[in-house]
Amino acid sequence: MQDRIFYATCFGFILGVLIRSFLFINIFTVVFLGVLGMALFSFFFLISKNKWGIVASIFILALSFGIFRFHIADKPAPYSFESKVGQQVSFSGIIVDEPDARENNQKLTIEVEKIKILANVNLDGEYKYGDKINLEGKLERPENFITDQGKEFDYVNYLRKDNIFYVINYPKIEVVSHGNGSYLKSILFLAKEKFLEKINFAIASPESLLMGGLILGEKSSFDQALRQSFVNTGTIHIVALSGYNVTIVAEWFMKLFAFLPRNLGIWMGILAILLFILMTGGSSTAIRAGVMATLALVARATGRNYDVARALILAGVFMILLNPFVLVYDVSFQLSFIATVAVIFFAPRIEKYFLWVTTTLQLRDIVSVTAAAYVFVFPFILYKMGNLSLVALPANVLILPFIPFTMLLGFLTGFAGLFWYVFAVPLGYISYLFLHYELGVISFFSNVPFAAFSIPDFPLILTISTYAYFIYRLFGRSIKSFFTAPL
């Protein structure tokens, strides 16, 4: 009974947020659903004593709460700003996130009167998190755009999830003062900057760019050709800031310290996750990925998948509760969740197909984990990016087994460089060899004729059907038991 109430509450809330993400539901309907749920609960709990009725009424209550939570988060932009769209404006604000350097410009997230504005500025400007600035430029609303694969990217809601309503392109900026942000975040961003600096010193480009993408999700500096090579070979997921990367490097840490008592080995994996979060500057994206990876690590280390499954669902609900926009509009959250499910539930089932892989350094386990994660995220990436790679399978088979060790070398190179560059050079050279091999594989397969095709309209129904099949294969018995076992 308690399990059914737990799952009814969690999935009711998630469904409510999901529905409200696509459909506007007025507050009166929400109140009606809430009152209906309360009335049904009172009837079944006090009068009928029907346990299934209690579960159903709790589901309706959670559904209404999910809709309500999205409703209160879905606030319109302030009129004081909306009335100035298309006009030259002058604001004073604080840079509240790390500047995002791209190939041709950098993006600054500026908080002005409790809302955020994204400013696209030239690369020659020196800006830091916590800088208070005056800016003058044309205020505009963000617009959706078509990607190179022909997919429409919902840029409006992508920014909206971070409370960004407007953009200003290449404004005049004057830095007024420094150090106006969180002291902790300032320290973390400084550590990340120094960490990347040491990696870039010890490893030549473009291999250093790949390392930054692997361990910190820093793919913004990739040029268009390199980024397209990752897309064409179906390997773009390895440089996404998600639970996928964090989980596999934590797995390596845990396996490398397998000679220690089991609990200590688990803590070494969790330490790797903590270091990852710190090195990314403690961003909310990294924290979400870290939570997912920790749950996957504990599940695989203890074998208690059922208990960790509930913790995974609860963690997802908590993240959605904090920011309901992440469920539909945050690709990193979605990738983290999908990859974590794969690592916990799917990897143990396919491990028998990798008996041909050596068990040295637990390589068989690592290969099964990476393969499981790739199989699970592939339909999602195909739908989101609209790119069908015909060389994805061989490319991933040749690359994925080396990714965890490459990431581990990257961490060691960066940390060694923080103490003395002499320590970082040999580690950087070894890292370079692995990275050069991986980029070589990607370059080779991306240049194969007809390596990839664009599918701008990969059907959503096919994506949903694929994951419905995955769910049925993994959880079919549990779902059947949920509805048929006596309460």
131: domain CATH number is 2.40.50.140
How do residues 197-244 score in pLDDT, each as one tens digit? 888 888 888 888 888 877 776 655 677 788 888 888 877 777 766 555
Reply yes or no on whether the pLDDT at 470 is more than 80: yes
More confident residue, 159 or 245: 159
Whether the CB-CB separation of 340 and 295 falls below 8 Å is answered with: yes
> Does 216 share its domain with 302?
yes
| pLDDT over 80 at 424, yes or no | yes
Q: Note the pLDDT of residue 255.
A: 65
Residues 68 and 86 in one domain: no
CB 373 within 8 A of CB 343: yes
Q: Is residue 187 part of a domain?
A: no
CB 390 within 8 A of CB 450: yes
Assess whether 260 and 292 both reside in one domain: yes
State both tokens at 252: 């390596």
Alpha-carbon gap, residue 395 to 413, rounded angstroms: 26
Average pLDDT over residues 61-67: 94
Are 242 and 336 within 8 A, CB to CB? Answer: yes
Tell whether 44 is covered by a domain. Answer: yes
Q: Which residue, among 438, 399, 370, has the nearest Cα to 210 in the 3D structure?
A: 438
Kindly report which listed range (12-26, 83-97, 360-374, 378-392) carries the lowest average pLDDT score. Answer: 360-374
In the numeric block, the tokens 């690590």 are attached to 297
333 CB burial (10 A radius; 0-12, 13-18, 19+): buried
pLDDT category of residue 361 using cuts at 50, 70 and 90? low
| Residue 300 within a domain | yes
Together in a domain, 39 and 93: no
> Which pLDDT does position 259 carry in this prediction?
66
Q: Which of 181, 208, 239 is at the close of a domain?
A: 181
Judge if 326 and 372 occupy the same domain.
Answer: yes
> Quick one: 35 and 59 in the same domain?
yes
pLDDT, one tens digit per residue, over 113-130 is 888 999 998 888 788 888
Asked if residues 58 and 41 have their Cβ atoms less than 8 Å apart, the reply is: yes
Helix 403-419 to helix 243-256 angle, to the nearest 10 degrees?
A: 80
344 with 305: CB under 8 angstroms? yes
The pLDDT-based confidence of 485 (bands split at 50, 70, 90) is: low
User: Is 340 within 8 Å of 300 (Cβ atoms)?
Assistant: no
Task: Please give the DSSP secondary-structure letter assigned to residue 241.
Answer: -
Do 88 and 223 fall within a single domain? Answer: no
Q: What's the distance, Cα to Cα, between the start and end of the chain in Å?
A: 6
Domain housing 152: 79-181
Lowest mean pLDDT among 169-173, 275-279, 399-403: 275-279
Count up the domains in the chain and report the number: 3
Band of pLDDT at residue 167, cut at 50, 70 and 90: very high
C-alpha distances out from residue 440 to 72, 226, 399, 445, 447, Å = 49, 12, 10, 9, 11
Mean pLDDT to the nearest integer, 429-436: 91
16 burial via Cβ count (<10 Å: 0-12, 13-18, 19+): buried
Question: Which of 73, 102, 121 is the C-terminal boundary of a domain?
Answer: 73
- 468 falls within a domain: no
Domain edge (last residue) among 73, 92, 107: 73
Same domain as 120, residue 102: yes
Q: Is residue 238 part of a domain?
A: yes
Closest CA to 285 of 310, 253, 312, 319: 319
466 is a domain residue: no
Q: 0.85 cut: is pTM over it?
A: no
- Residue 63 located in a structural domain: yes
Q: Based on the domain organization, do 50 and 8 belong to the same domain? A: yes
Token pair of 397, please?
């088979």
Shared-domain flag, residues 248 and 384: yes
Q: Are residues 239 and 148 in the same domain?
A: no
Q: In this structure, are residues 460 and 413 in contact, taking their beta carbons and an 8 Å threshold?
A: no
Between 454 and 444, the higher pLDDT residue? 444
Judged by average pLDDT, the poorest of 119-133, 169-183, 380-394 is 380-394
For all residues of the chain together, what is the average pLDDT? 81
478 assigned to some structural domain: no
Residues 108 and 119: beta-carbon distance below 8 Å: yes
Phi and psi (nearest 5°) for 115?
-120, 165
Q: Which residue(s) pair with 139 in the sheet?
A: 168
- For residues 203 and 158, membership in a common domain is answered with no
DSSP-derived secondary structure for 137-176:
EEEE----EE-TTSPEE-HHHHHHTTTEEEEEES-EEEEE
